[in-house]
Every structure is written in structure tokens, then in C-alpha cells.
Structure 1
Amino acid sequence: MTSFSTISELVSMAEENCSSISEIVLSCEAQKMQNSRKEIIEAMNQRLTVMKKSIEKGRKNYSYSVSKMVGMNAAKFDNFMNKNSILGKIVEKAICYALSVSEVNACMGLVVACPTAGSCGILPGAVLSVSEEMNVPDEKIVLSLFTAAGIGMVIGKNATLSGAVGGCQAECGSASAMAAAAVLELLGGTPSQIGHAVALALKNYLGLVCDPVAGLVEVPCVKRNAFAAVHALVAAELALAGIESVIPPDEVILASYEIGRLMPKSLKETSEAGLATTSTGRKVESMINNL
């Protein structure tokens, strides 16, 4: 059975077969699951539908999460970006969509964990903002999601996707790398360029701590999704321009694992340091505990 364990293997397989990374991942998944190509694509299409619905729900959300820390910012930005924004339409939408999905998650709505619930807005924010503005058909978007999935599989195998193990670099960093890869495929990037996009995105999130206020996936998580979606777009555009990462993607992934291992427990989703233990963070935690 065809398989891959590293980004370099994935890129090489695509190049040797004159194929896209998405086709390699799709083929491997079909073999592993013993399902037809059509069935695998339909399953991913269902996830795309969930992503789209969570964006629309979040943009129209005028309520708060149970903690009251999160809510209505996606709707606020949706209204703002059509009037006063200084950014281009793709970036504006990436921010809005990432906020939308992440707020839906905080309000206990249905999202696609890609790769985690805490980073669920990054991939749809980046991919759907680009696909909408460039009129990319759903069939091509679905394929790009297989590229993202392949990158996530490699990171999960060789490092971690868990904030409790590797800090937020493992969640938002990995999601940004996955999103950069997917966007680059949408834009016609080569397998090699996709590898560099992954490295560029992930290495600039190395060391990012996971310090959620009151132990909830809300602050700073939701707004961090918006930043990471834009970060993915920057990585994709740099790679598309031919800019390469000096450190190969697989070495960046291994570095992220090492950094996560060296990171103190207090900065890995325990809420024992960082923003969670600021004066305001403690006050919010106390307020929530008394609800």
C-alpha cells in the first residue's frame, strides 16, 4: 500500500507521479479505508459543507458563549470590512471567516476540527476566502483539503497536534501550515512549493504557548485563529513567489516537537501561566467559576 511519513516523501511521490499532493493523499486514504475514490471525496465534501455552514452561522451570530468572553466579533468584523477595512478582500474574508468558525466552536456549534477544535477557523478562513474571491469550484476546494489533511497527518505522526503536548504551535501553527498548503494548491503551486509553504508557516509559530484564560478554548484562541489564517496566506504567497525556507519542512516539524517537549507544563494548556494568570485573566476565571 502506498504511504508516506514525511513531507519530503509526499512531495517526491507527487513529483514522481506527475501528480498533485492531494491526489497522493486521496489515493492513500482510499487504500487505507478500503473505500472508493468517490466515497472518500464525498466524505471530505461533507466536511466542506460543515465549514461553510459554520462560517455563515458565525457571521450572523449575535450571542455570546456561556463564559461571555466570546461572541459577536465575527458579525462586527463582517459589518466593518465592507466599509472601513484597510486590507484587501481576501485578507478581510480570511479574518472574518476564521473568527466566525472559531466563535461557533466556542458557542458549542458544529465545526470541523482541522486539526483541532481550538484551531478550527484557520483552514476554512484561509481556503474559503481565496476560493470565493477567485471563483474556485467546490471540487477543487475539496481536493485542496486532502492536501491539508496530508500535511496534518505528517505533523501528527512526527510531532504533535495537541496544545497540551506541544503548546499552541502544535494547534494554530499546524493549522496555519495545513492552510498554507491547501491555499497554494488552489493557486496552482507545485508540490515543492507546498513543502516550503508548510515550513514557512510552521516555523514562524515555533514556541507559541497555549495559555487559555479560565481553561477555555476562547481567549486568546478565537482571535488567534484570525491571525493564523492571514499568516497562512502570507506563507502561501511567499512560496508561490519562489521564496524557499532554508530549513526543510520535515526539520521544522521535528524542531516543533523538540520545542514542545522543552516547553514547561505551565505553558501547555494548563492555564498555569501566561495570559491565564494575568490580573484580568484571574478575575475572568473567578467570575466564570461563580456563574
Structure 2
Amino acid sequence: MAVLFETFLEWKEYCEKKNVPLYQPVLEYEIREKERTKEEIQTALENAFLVMKDAVKTGLHEDMTSRSGMIENGGKKVMKTPVNVLSEEFKLLVARALAAKEVNSCMGRVVAAPTAGASGILPGVLVTLQELHKIEDEKIYEGLLIAAGIALIMEKKSGIAGAVGGCQAETGTAAAMSSGAIVHCLGGNIDMIFNAVAITTQCMLGLVCDPVAGLVEVPCVVRNASAAAIANSSAQIALANVSGVIPVDECVDAMGEVGQSMEDRYKETALGGLAATPTGKSISKKVLISDIDIIDSSEE
């Protein structure tokens, strides 16, 4: 598959030269690479956003208890708590990001954006953004295209998989995608959008991937919520024209460099970090024994 652009700078220069919005070359890329019409891409965007909204709804209204027992309706509990740390909107943002990711942990239907392990971030961010600012669906779809363009470049420059670059690559990319989409939907220009991506990347830099028992549950679910919060704070900073100082391409290159230098135990192997704590090891043994028991009983 051909790349969209090698760098964010190329993407910006192309749009300025052609005098087209940031999402336009992404749309053209999708049409070219997927061999679909503009209408078919539009339908795909509509379907993707519907799945995101359904994941949020499912996570907040159905039982979300994972087989391991580590996930137990966290999104619902946050939504129902009477205590608001900041505001009702912030509480809902956290609840929605948790809920959508819990759907993935409970084997439900989600959009991998860019991965299943980060599938709660964009839904939590976009559903809350649309509700709060009464944003039209069409603008959200543009934001999704821009988010996809961000992911395509980050995939090439730094990687988007935890097994490649740690959790910074998964939740970090999803947060960067989300912050860019927020800024676009709220009227920010190209520099603001890319500055939001840069700031988000700086905030997520170095995060390891250390899933307890090798399951994409702990700490993955709560990191989706924190990444959603970082996406919003980065967008707020960027919309105020506060510079991240380090250009976006250099930030993403730094993420790639950090990912390459990480030891393997911090890259989805469940051999380091939280997975290697006494409690993490204990949970891993229980989950493994449970899985063996299920296999044995099914063979009888």
C-alpha cells in the first residue's frame, strides 16, 4: 500500500499548495487505495461512527464483566457516581472511554482506532465532543478522516502496535488522532491540529505496554480514559495557540526512537511493569488455571 505522506510537513504543504482542507487528501487516498467511491467511503465513515457510538452505549448499559474478572462495569460505575472531580462532561468523557474499551475486553464489537487496545479513546472523545458542542455528523466524519491520516503517518514513523513501541504507540496514537479531530471540529487550522498531535505525543511518550496476564484489560482500559483526557487537554492548549515547541514530525520520530529502545518486557509480553508485580503474577496464574480448566471440561 502506498503511503499517504512521509511526514506531517508534506501533508501540510500539499494542502496549502492545492488549497484543500486537511481531510481531502486522506479521502482521496482512501478512494484510491480501497478502490471505493466517495459515497462508499462516506458510508464507511458513518458505519464506523455508529459502531463507536454503539460501543459507548453498550458499555454503559449492558453487563461488562470480563471472563478474567478484572473488568467489572467500570464505565457504568464512573457514570453513576455522584462525585464530579471537574464537571459532569469530564465524568462522561471518562465513563465513555472506559465503557467503549470494556466492550472490547468483553469480546464486543468495536472500531480498532488505530488498534483494539485503544478502541475506547476516539469513541469517548467524539461522542462527548459532539454532544457538548452540537457538532454535525459531517464534521465528525471529516475529523475521522484527519484522525486516519494522523495514524497513517504515525504508523510509518513510530509504529502503532504495543508489541512494536509500547503503549505509547497504541493509546498514544489514538490520543493524537483524537486531539487532532477535536481541533478540526472546533475550527482549528492545520498548525493547531498538528500542534495538538505534537503535544499529545509529548504527553504519552515512553508509556510501556504491560498487560496483566497478557490480556488487554489492565491497565489498558483505564489508560483509554486517561488518554482521552490528555487528548482534550492537548486540544485545549493547541486551540489557544500555545506551542508545543518541538515540531510534530520530530515528536513522532522521538516516539519511534523511544519505542525501539524499550526492552521487550515492556512491549506486550506481560513480562514487565504491572504484569510482573506480585498481584499481576498471581492474577496471571489464576487466569491460566481457569483457561486450562475450561479446556479440560470441554474435552470430557
Which TM-score tier does this pair reach, normalised by the shorter chain? Answer: over 0.9
Residue 60 of structure 1 aligns with an amino acid whose one-letter code is: H
Residues 144-183 of structure 1 mapped to structure 2, 5 A cutoff = 144-183=143-182
Q: State the alpha-carbon separation in 2 of the partners of residues 164 and 227 from structure 1.
A: 20
**Structure-1 residue corresponding to 2:29:** 28
1:245-260 aligned at under 5 Å gives the runs 245-260=244-259
Aligned partners of 1:228 and 1:184: how far apart in 2? 16
Equivalent in the alignment of 1:52: 53
| Match of residue 228 from structure 2 | 229
Distance 2:115 2:4 in 1: 23
Gaps of 5+ in 1: none
Aligned residue pair count: 289
Q: CA deviation at 1:34?
A: 2.9
Q: C-alpha displacement at 1:198, in angstroms?
A: 0.4
Partner of 2:295: none
Which residue is 2:294 aligned to?
A: none
Q: What whole-Å deviation, never above 9, does each CA across 1:89-139 have from its counterpart, x for those lacking one?
A: 432222111101100000000000000111111111112211111111111
Change (3 A) 1:241 1:75: same
Larger CA Rg, structure 1 vs 2: 2
CA shift, 1:10, in A, is 1.4
The TM-score, its normalising length taken from structure 1, stands at: 0.96
| Superposed CA offset, 1:241-265 (max 9, x none) | 0011211111111111111111000
Secondary structure in 2 aligned to 1:204? helix
Amino acid at match of 1:66: R
Q: Structure 2: give runs of 5+ residues left out of the alignment.
A: 291-300
More off after superposition, 216-225 vs 55-64: 55-64
RMSD, aligned CA? 1.4
Shift of 1:28: 2.2
For 1:10-89, list aligned pairs within 5 A: 10-80=11-81, 83-89=82-88
Pair 1:16–1:128, CA change in 2 (3 A): farther
Q: Residues 136 and 271 (structure 1 numbering): CA distance in 2 closer, same or farther, change over 3 Å?
A: same
Match of 1:187 in 2: 186
CA contact (8 A) 1:163 1:169 kept: yes
Amino acid at match of 2:134: N
Q: Distance in 2 between matches of 1:89 and 1:14?
A: 38
